[in-house]
Structure 1
Amino acid sequence: MNPINTIQPIRWAKNHLQLLDQRLLPQQNIYLSLKDAPATAQAITDMVVRGAPAIGITAAYGVVLAARVAYAKAGDNWRQAIAADMQKLAASRPTAVNLFWALQRLSALFPDISGDPEPVLLAEALHIQQQDITDNQIMGDFGAAYLPENSEIITHCNAGALATGGYGTALGVVRSAWTAGKLQRVYADETRPWLQGARLTAWEMVQEKIPVTLIAEGAAAARMQQGNISWVIVGSDRIANNGDVANKIGTCGLAILARYYGVKFMVVAPTSTIDMQLNSGAEIPIEQRAGNELLQCGQQHIAADGAEAWNPVFDVTPADLVDVLVTERGAIEKPNQEKIAQLMK
């Protein structure tokens, strides 16, 4: 097992939830202290925290804060008083299934709680985060086993410690491969429009002295064409039960390029990201965000006046473009409905 990295995007400290504000990285390293569920939901919506596992963990702590407020106001009637805050948390990001998984997991504890609900719910939220870190390390080792010596890989968006409880999914594989001496270099897509690859993935790699080269999305094909890229490795926000994968916009195009150039394509995600209720990626809700995220860069307007924007946050990569799906329960080659059902038993 690999030692955990020191990046902590989510922490419970001084009796409050603290989130590393990822909108400010890499220029500023600032934590926001959140004291109630509406502020937590708004932080998720506003991309203070992002990445499906991290969103789920944050939502779990949001339930703790909601229960604290509800119990203080309504006493033993806190279950009714918490309902509005639970709805706000559920509405914060529609695509990341880990959000709903975490809310359901804590809600399942409600009936058996007597007295103050906060200690029970906090213990569960802390457990969810620690289990996520452990699972990430397991996935990292599973995924690294597929990489050849002297590997160079391409990744998209940020699926590292910042997107999880710690260590990372796609970047967990990178960390494990680096520790094993199998990795030579990471090529990070810049990932428009929020530039998670440029701001976050590159930052994580620099912190740990893992060689990283930033590329524009449009450069990925040329880099594959030159050779020596062994894998594209990405995370996921939701996976249908047939293996279709929703991930940051641009992932599907990267998978198509990888297939054309003979580069393997790996998806790394915990089983909590697999939505067994959805039969295909066509059923995954795709979040649409404000057009200004494309029309502007920071606060600077960069598009022609009058231009409109289409800004889906995610796209869906068909299962037949995925060579390996890595989870904490094991890796599936060429994932399909039958293999995923077996994995999830």
Structure 2
Amino acid sequence: MIDAISFTNGTLRYLDQRFLPLQENYVETRSHSEAIDAIKTLAVRGAPLIGVAAGYTVILGLQSYNGTKEEFPAYFDNLIADVEASRPTAVNLFFATARMKEVYDRHFEQDSLDTLFNRMRDTATGIHDDEIANCDAMARHGVELIRRDLSDSLAKRKLTVLTHCNTGTLATGGSGTALGVIKHAWKEGLIEKVITAESRPLLQGLRLTAWELEQENIPFYSISDSSSAFLMQKGMIDFGIVGADRIAANGDTANKIGTCAHAISAHYHKIPFYIAAPVSTIDITIRNGDEIPIEERNADELRTIFGTQVATPTTPVINYAFDVTPNRFIRGIVTDKKAVVGDYDQQLKQLID
């Protein structure tokens, strides 16, 4: 069983995903600075798992505090700010820190620091437990949507699904978002095979999703990101499903760079394209995709592949980590509460309420 992240006796343990699938390196740390660095460097990645890691990182920071209660508010504010600065696009991170801040706001005045820290530790564990339960719920709702939306195709054959980046256990700590739906659909006999796009520049689809599918014995093919339109043209893909790092109030969705191209191709070829993400990924304070902050990462991620230089060090690079898929290209959004189709503005708001 894949153990992407755990927290035991004050120690955070995580699988360093930068070295998969060739090496399975587990790291243990009691340092919140090291945990923040793990989020920044994508040793820990995937929107829901980043949220889980953020909660545990706050706890690591609390464990190292040795000041007075009067000095604690300033320390806590700086700790939260450092955690939130690690990855600006993944809203789950901010959802996790918001839950920790809520505990602080409600209990700081009357609690001792020890009692407050215990409350926050329980909250961080609760965030992890919630993500596991969310994945199970998404898998059920996603399979229900596939059965309903693709009933004509399912009457004739099992389906081939396209996915992008990694949205499984390695991204969530549970069974996964989009990949969790795929795993459940495979067990239900709905899927014949998976097409996983490589997901340049860090190859999460080729390295991580392929590895997870091998662990589950699910048939798959890996492809270059630019191949999906041609496979759709040839009738080799029946539908697509991916995860999300942030969903705006109108359903515009930020996900790993390359997602929008798949979605546009699917729309052109009249192939359903779905998003699977927990409700915590929905940010109704953002009206549309134009307002989603998009992280631009170091140019060397594109100029090198696992430390090997493939372009000159002076090659100018644009390296956005995410793109935004407009809602008109999204057939449905699967959440842990239910799957919604069309008129996202009202339905997403109702899910939050």
TM surpasses 0.5: yes
Q: For residue 228 of structure 1, report the CA deviation from its aligned partner.
A: 4.2
1:50 aligns with 2:45: yes
* 3-state SS in 1 of match to 2:320: coil
Q: Percent identity?
A: 39
Inter-partner Cα distance in structure 1 for 2:194 and 2:73:
47
1:85 aligns with 2:79: yes
1:97 aligns with 2:105: no
1:292 aligns with 2:323: no
Identify if the C-alpha distance between structure 1 residues 146 and 171 changes in structure 2 by more than 3 Å, giving closer, same or farther: same
One-letter code of the match for 2:141?
F
Inter-partner Cα distance in structure 2 for 1:169 and 1:59:
18
Residue in structure 2 matched with residue 135 of structure 1 by the alignment? 134
Aligned match for 1:11, one of 6, 10, 13: 6
1:272 aligns with 2:292: no
1:24 aligns with 2:19: yes
Q: For residue 75 of structure 1, report the CA deviation from its aligned partner.
A: 4.7
Pairwise mapping of residues 159-178 of structure 1 onto structure 2 (< 5 A)? 159-178=167-186
Task: Compute the TM-score of the two structures, normalised by the length of structure 2.
Answer: 0.93
1:246, 1:281 within 8 Å by CA — same for their partners in 2? yes
Inter-partner Cα distance in structure 1 for 2:313 and 2:307:
15
Aligned match for 1:327, one of 335, 338, 345: 335
One-letter code of the match for 2:165?
C
Pairwise mapping of residues 300-339 of structure 1 onto structure 2 (< 5 A)? 300-304=308-312, 306-339=314-347
1:295, 1:302 within 8 Å by CA — same for their partners in 2? yes
Task: Report which stretch shifted further, 287-296 or 142-151.
Answer: 142-151
> Structure 2 regions of 5+ residues with no counterpart?
none
Q: For residue 306 of structure 1, report the CA deviation from its aligned partner.
A: 3.7
One-letter code of the match for 2:41?
D
Listed one character per residue, the Cα deviations across residues 247-272 of structure 1 (whole Å, up to 9, x for unaligned) are: 00000010000011111000000111
Inter-partner Cα distance in structure 1 for 2:314 and 2:80:
39
Q: For residue 82 of structure 1, report the CA deviation from its aligned partner.
A: 2.3
Listed one character per residue, the Cα deviations across residues 184-208 of structure 1 (whole Å, up to 9, x for unaligned) are: 1010000000000011000000011
Q: For residue 15 of structure 1, report the CA deviation from its aligned partner.
A: 2.2
Pairwise mapping of residues 94-243 of structure 1 onto structure 2 (< 5 A)? 94-111=88-105, 112-113=107-108, 114-115=111-112, 116=114, 117-147=116-146, 148=150, 149=154, 150-243=158-251
> Structure 1 regions of 5+ residues with no counterpart?
1-5
Inter-partner Cα distance in structure 2 for 1:20 and 1:14:
18
Q: For residue 182 of structure 1, report the CA deviation from its aligned partner.
A: 1.0
Residue in structure 2 matched with residue 3 of structure 1 by the alignment? none
Q: For residue 326 of structure 1, report the CA deviation from its aligned partner.
A: 0.5
List structure 1 segments (4+ residues) > 6 angstroms apart after TM superposition. none
Listed one character per residue, the Cα deviations across residues 80-116 of structure 1 (whole Å, up to 9, x for unaligned) are: 3222221110100000011111001011111315221
2:145, 2:339 within 8 Å by CA — same for their partners in 1? no
* 3-state SS in 1 of match to 2:254: strand
Inter-partner Cα distance in structure 2 for 1:341 and 1:83:
29
Inter-partner Cα distance in structure 1 for 2:18 and 2:275:
25
Inter-partner Cα distance in structure 2 for 1:276 and 1:104:
15
Q: For residue 321 of structure 1, report the CA deviation from its aligned partner.
A: 0.6
One-letter code of the match for 1:308?
P
Inter-partner Cα distance in structure 2 for 1:305 and 1:14:
44
CA RMSD of aligned residues (A): 1.4
1:151, 1:228 within 8 Å by CA — same for their partners in 2? no
* 3-state SS in 2 of match to 1:197: helix
Pairs aligned (count): 339
Q: For residue 13 of structure 1, report the CA deviation from its aligned partner.
A: 2.3
1:94, 1:286 within 8 Å by CA — same for their partners in 2? yes
* 3-state SS in 2 of match to 1:146: helix
Inter-partner Cα distance in structure 2 for 1:99 and 1:267:
19
Inter-partner Cα distance in structure 2 for 1:51 and 1:61:
15
Listed one character per residue, the Cα deviations across residues 223-266 of structure 1 (whole Å, up to 9, x for unaligned) are: 11111422110000001001000000000010000011111000
* 3-state SS in 1 of match to 2:18: coil
